[in-house]
Amino acid sequence: MTTVAYLAHCLLNANAKVDEGAICEGVSMPVLSLLRERGCTIRQMPCPELAFGGTRRFWAVREQYDTPVFRAHCRRLAAPVAEQIRADLAAGARVVVVGIDGSPSMGVELTAASAEWGGRPDKPRDDDYPVTPGPGIFVETLLELLADARPQVRVVGIGQDLFDYDEERELAKLGGELPPTHAG
Amino acid sequence: MRGDARSRRLVVVPDALLNPPAGAHDDLAPLAAAGWGVVALPPVRDEKWLETIVEQVVTFLDDGYEVALACSEDEAVAVFREALRATGRDVTREL
């Protein structure tokens, strides 16, 4: 059975991250290598924050993005992805969506949320980054669009937006959602 | 604080380069090793998906990021390029 991995955009293009948010120049090689080692087909999802706020945006929490217009933007970006996921499922593939834990838009199990953030952009992006249980807005939207197909889709977040990002731990988590090592 | 690791360089690639057939040469690895970020085109022709990719690339171009094309002879890349040109931008560097 083919496994198709839908990656958060920045896992292949760290240029989409906010300033001080990237952990590599471009491609997250450990993630790419793991997916290839496991024989996955790779697809890249759009970055909702880049397309909305541009490359010069500040880091933000969910509440700052949670507007009707941003949600409509996420739906527009997620719709073709959801359609392709349905096509992959119909073709008999296993589908894994790989998000970014700690992200206000791409988080899976962890997002960033705070009622206090807003106004002057003076919030440091360090150990008081307000990580909170719950999904980011794009991932939430994508899963809603998948509707009845949702239970067939595995979803995992890599904690690259967490201050205590531990690559080995996060790769092990991703690996747990993938098939065993690819023989071919 | 992590500093700014972003390379400010990205390359638009067709699905075939991201997912090479079994036994084929991996042309993505050297690009990644050289620090290029990757923007992958969809596996099928999908105007709505392509539109979102064009918007993202325009965002990068307008902010001065270097953008290149890989496999420019690939049909999907050619379609992307035409869609990008329709916005008044172009990418001339090919890798």
CB contact under 8 A, A25 and B35: yes
Using CB atoms within 10 Å of the CB of residue A144, give its burial: 0 to 12 exposed, 13 to 18 middle, 19+ buried: middle
Give tens-digit pLDDT for A119-163. Answer: 888 877 676 788 999 999 999 999 999 999 999 999 999 999 888
pLDDT band of A38, cuts 50, 70, 90: very high
Q: Nearest-CA residue of chain B relative to A87?
A: B44
- Residue A99 dihedral angles phi and psi, to the nearest 5°: -100, -165
Residue B3 lies in a domain: no
Write out the residue range of the structural domain in which residue B87 sits.
Answer: 9-94
Query: What residues of chain A lie within 8 A of the CB of B19, using their CB?
Result: 41-42
| pLDDT value for B1 | 55
Which pLDDT tens digit goes with each residue over A9-20?
Answer: 999 999 999 888
> B52, A20: Cβ pair inside 8 Å?
no
Q: Which of A15, A32, A76 sits opposite B10 (nearest CB)?
A: A15
- Is A132 touching B (CB cutoff 8 A)? no
Provide the token pair at A157.
């977040």
Residue B1 lies in a domain: no
Q: What is the pTM of this model?
A: 0.95
Domain ranges of chain A: 3-117+124-175
Q: What is the ipTM of this complex?
A: 0.95
Residue A39: which pLDDT band, with cuts at 50, 70 and 90?
very high
Give the model's pLDDT for residue A183. 54
Measured between its terminal Cα atoms, the distance across chain B in Å is 33
CB-count exposure of residue A66 (10 Å: 0-12, 13-18, 19+): middle
Task: Give average pLDDT by consecutive 10-residue segment, chain B, 95 residues.
Answer: 85 96 90 97 94 97 96 93 97 93
| Interchain CB distance below 8 Å, B52 and A23 | no
Continuous H helices in chain B: 15-18, 28-33, 47-62, 75-85
Closest residue in A to B4 (Cα–Cα): A20
One-letter-per-residue 3-state SS of chain A: CCEEEEECHHHCCHHHCCCCCCCCCCCCHHHHHHHHHCCCEEEECCCHHHHHHCCCCCCCCHHHHCCHHHHHHHHHHHHHHHHHHHHHHHCCCEEEEEEECCCCCCCCCEEECCCCCCCCCCCCCCCCCCEEECCCHHHHHHHHHHHHHHHHEEEEEECCCCCCCCHHHHHHHHHCCCCCCCCC
The neighbour count for residue A15, using CB atoms within 10 Å, is 30
Looking at the 3D structure of chain B, how many domains does it have? 1
One-letter amino acid at B45 equals R
Distance, CA of A55 to CA of B69 (rounded, Å): 20
Q: Which residue of A has its CA nearest to B63?
A: A55
Q: Kindly state whether residue B17 falls inside one of the protein's structural domains.
A: yes
